[in-house]
Amino acid sequence: MQPDQTALPLDLSPEVAAARAAGQPVVALESTIITHGMPWPRNLDMARSVEAAVREAGAVPATIAVMAGRIRIGLPDADLTALAQTPAAEVMKLSRADLAVALASGRTGATTVAATMICANLAGIRVFATGGIGGVHRGAEASFDVSADLEELARTPVTVVAAGAKAILDLPKTLEVLETRGVPVIAYGQNAFPAFWSRDSGLPAPLRMDSPAEIAGAARMRARLGIEGGQLVVNPIPPEAEIPRAEIDPIIARALREAAEAGIAAKAVTPWLLQRIFELTEGRSLEANIALVLNNARLAGQIAAAM
Ligand code: PSU
């Protein structure tokens, strides 16, 4: 059954509403990367530059968040600034499980990849750019910690452009789950599955495509075949911004050890690790993260334009 659009707590910004009505390309952007993924004030710079990158690619950016119990699709700069400035501890990190509760109780929250896909789909937006998706955490055989992002990719028809899954994860297991759940993982312009801060994870990507038009065509074909779910496009970080695996791997290992010792669990794991790796790399991981998001925003804009 189609949800009753009039009853949805869904607000499109005037610019996004006009673009949707005119059939212009729109790219969804998430907000957890702003509130939980990067420190103030670089998070705000990043959010603004990513929107600019989408525009340069010929599409309209729609940053998505939940504010005071409404899904907001496209945030004016004042709201973007307010969200970026709020301490992470005061903003809910929303996924499929808690989106409805947050809306029903009038809360404010940042949307993860999973929640952003749900909201983008409600607004008819088919392409979404982020940094790196969540996946199977290392040690998941004991902790069962698997990001809801993977399940969402299997269910919701949105093409997500990411620089791979975050390298803090168990990448082989993440790829296995994506395969089991029928999610096409398409590497852009290379054979290797990228590893967020590094271009090559050492694992082959299941699929490869070399142009935005091909990726748009695959999304259309999937819809025609009636296959549910989205596509994951993995776009390697630009060479000049990457941190090679040999350099980042020991740092990730150390951060993971420290997280285990500190008893970090559940939703806190990813933000904690990103912050610790930022400290251990003296800020280099953040520069790389910003570069890869910008790169993904450009590609997502081109895919949206080709759709
Ligand atoms: N990409 C980034 N930084 C981030 C994220 C993505 O460069 O912080 C966020 C996304 O919102 C993603 C979340 O859904 O990290 C994954 O969190 P978890 O591992 O707890 O599912």
- Is residue 93 part of an annotated ligand binding site? yes
Write down the pTM of the prediction.
Answer: 0.97
Taking the centre of ligand 1 as the mean of its atom positions, its distance from the CA of residue 272, in whole angstroms, is 11
* Alpha carbon distance 220, 214 (integer Å): 10
pLDDT of 234 higher than 70: yes
Query: Tokens 């910003």 correspond to what residue?
Result: 290
> Average model confidence (pLDDT) for the chain?
96
ipTM > 0.85?
A: yes
The ligand 1 atom at the shortest distance from the C-alpha of residue 31 is 11
Domain that holds residue 265: 5-306
Question: 20 falls in which pLDDT band (50, 70, 90)?
Answer: very high
pLDDT tens digits, residue range 29-54?
Answer: 999 999 999 999 999 999 999 999 99
Per the structure, the count of domains in the chain is 1
Q: Which residue has the CA at smallest separation from atom 17 of ligand 1? A: 134
Task: Give residue 3's pLDDT.
Answer: 53
CATH number at residue 195: 3.40.1790.10
* Alpha carbon distance 1, 137 (integer Å): 34
- Mean pLDDT (whole number) for 254-260: 96
Question: 24 falls in which pLDDT band (50, 70, 90)?
Answer: very high
- Is residue 49 part of an annotated ligand binding site? no
Taking the centre of ligand 1 as the mean of its atom positions, its distance from the CA of residue 15, in whole angstroms, is 26
**Catalytic site residue 166?**
yes
Question: 2 falls in which pLDDT band (50, 70, 90)?
Answer: low
| Ligand 1 first shell, C-beta below 6 A | 30, 32-33, 36-37, 112-113, 130-132, 134, 147, 149, 267, 270, 274, 289, 293
